[in-house]
Amino acid sequence: MVTVPWWFLKMSGDENDDLAGWTGKRLDQLERVLSEQEWLAAERFTVADLLMADVLRVSEVRSFGDRPATEAYVARATDRTSFKKAQADQIGHFEAADQKRAEERSN
């Protein structure tokens, strides 16, 4: 959760906030875990992976250094058929809303 305020501080230009160091340390710990196991808990894909992969999909969060196990983890999670379907459904929802708004403006 700390990545949310860190990200907003970074976007506002505060690159040297204390959260950056803390976030980097947590990502280092996560890299160690992911270098030893495929998923975070129960030796299978769980809601923990769903939530963590969503945070880690943000490239700014992963920008703290070279973490190959973390990159592979994000690739595994986002390559799942269910992820691809959920993402396509979400994009479809946004596209339908955009189309509806465009139609309303043209009327």
Q: Which of 3, 1, 33 is nearest to 20 (CA)?
A: 3
What's the whole-model pTM score? 0.75
**Is the distance from CB of 39 to CB of 47 less than 8 angstroms?**
no
- What local confidence, expressed as pLDDT, does residue 79 receive? 95
Digit-coded pLDDT (tens) for 91-106? 999 999 999 999 999 9
- What local confidence, expressed as pLDDT, does residue 42 receive? 92
- What local confidence, expressed as pLDDT, does residue 25 receive? 87
Confidence of residue 13 (pLDDT cuts 50, 70, 90): confident
pLDDT over threshold 80, residue 3: no
Alpha-carbon gap, residue 35 to 27, rounded angstroms: 12
DSSP characters for 19-39? Answer: HHHHHHHHHHHHHHHHTT-SS
Confidence of residue 75 (pLDDT cuts 50, 70, 90): very high
